[in-house]
Amino acid sequence: MAHYNINLKDIEVGSDILQLPTDIFDSGSGKGTVIDSGTTLAYLPSMVYDQLISKVLAGQPELKLYLVEQQFTCFEYTESCSIDDGFPVIKFHFEDSLSLTVYPHDYLFLFKGDIWCIGWQKGVSQSKNGRDMTLLGDLVLSNKLVVYDLENMAIGWVDYNCSSSIKVKDEKTGTVYTVGAHNLSSASTFLIRRILTFFLLLIPVLNCLTN
């Protein structure tokens, strides 16, 4: 496959499951759900986007929305409670009872001052019948360790404090390296070369994605 296609079943906003057609996340013929760490935001089919945004903003009816840079839906937020307390958690549920949690501080970003913008975007039609692809980018992978298991065609994740270091094991030599954003730039050329070689050999990779 050209992408990391996954089988999305439904989306939960707060404690509410979005009421969507059962086939809206079906895969095949350029449709379905893709995880792409090379994409910054997350793109949803129009029907999914409209319901999700409505649920996200339901608890803040006084917010005045406006468009920034002809792309982002934004609002001024001056409440005493934090963004995480003022907006719902979103959960993506996949087959085999797997789920991925996206917190408000992940899908909302500070534009400037008290202006916050929504990272969810309305997708572009990917097929002749008007169906949209669900494209989940870095927005949903923030502060997670992500495992790409190419041999078994699987992808996995776990919440992680990405300001901390991670340990990466070279399965060929058994050597364990400690890698962190704070010291990666000062690592030796040898270490960087070994880590890059480790990635390129397509051994299961741990990739820490931060905001």
Residue 120 belongs to domain with CATH number? 2.40.70.10
Lowest mean pLDDT among 36-45, 48-57, 172-181: 172-181
pLDDT at 182 over 60: no
Non-local CB neighbours of 35 within 8 Å, separated by 6+ positions: 3, 4, 6, 136, 140, 141, 155
Q: What angle do CA 195, 100, 182 make, to 5 degrees?
A: 35
Task: Answer yes or no: is 184 within a domain.
Answer: no
What is the CB neighbour count within 10 angstroms for residue 45? 23
Rounded to whole angstroms, the Cα distance separating 90 from 32 reads 19
pLDDT at 162 over 70: yes
pLDDT in tens, 139-154: 999 888 888 888 888 8
pLDDT score at 100: 94
Domain total in the chain: 1
Task: Please report which confidence band the pLDDT of residue 185 belongs to, taking 50, 70 and 90 as the band edges.
Answer: very low
pLDDT score at 196: 39
Cβ proximity of 139 and 74 under 8 Å: no
Task: Answer yes or no: is 66 within a domain.
Answer: yes
Domain that holds residue 106: 5-160
Tokens of 126: 């990917």
Tell me the average pLDDT across 154-183. 82
Rounded to whole angstroms, the Cα distance separating 148 from 206 reads 7
Tell me the average pLDDT across 55-67. 93
pLDDT score at 14: 95
Task: Answer yes or no: is 114 within a domain.
Answer: yes
Cβ proximity of 120 and 107 under 8 Å: yes
pLDDT score at 109: 93
pLDDT higher at 69 or 14: 14
Q: At residue 118, what is the residue type? A: I
Lowest mean pLDDT among 16-25, 31-40, 127-136: 127-136
Note the helical H segments in the chain: 46-57, 83-86, 104-107, 138-141, 189-200
pTM over 0.85: no
Tell me the average pLDDT across 163-178. 85
pLDDT score at 29: 59
Task: Answer yes or no: is 205 within a domain.
Answer: no
Rounded to whole angstroms, the Cα distance separating 146 from 205 reads 8
pLDDT at 160 over 90: no
pLDDT score at 208: 40
Cβ proximity of 86 and 79 under 8 Å: yes
Q: What Å distances lie between residue 31 and 27, 66, 93, 140, CA to CA?
A: 5, 30, 18, 19
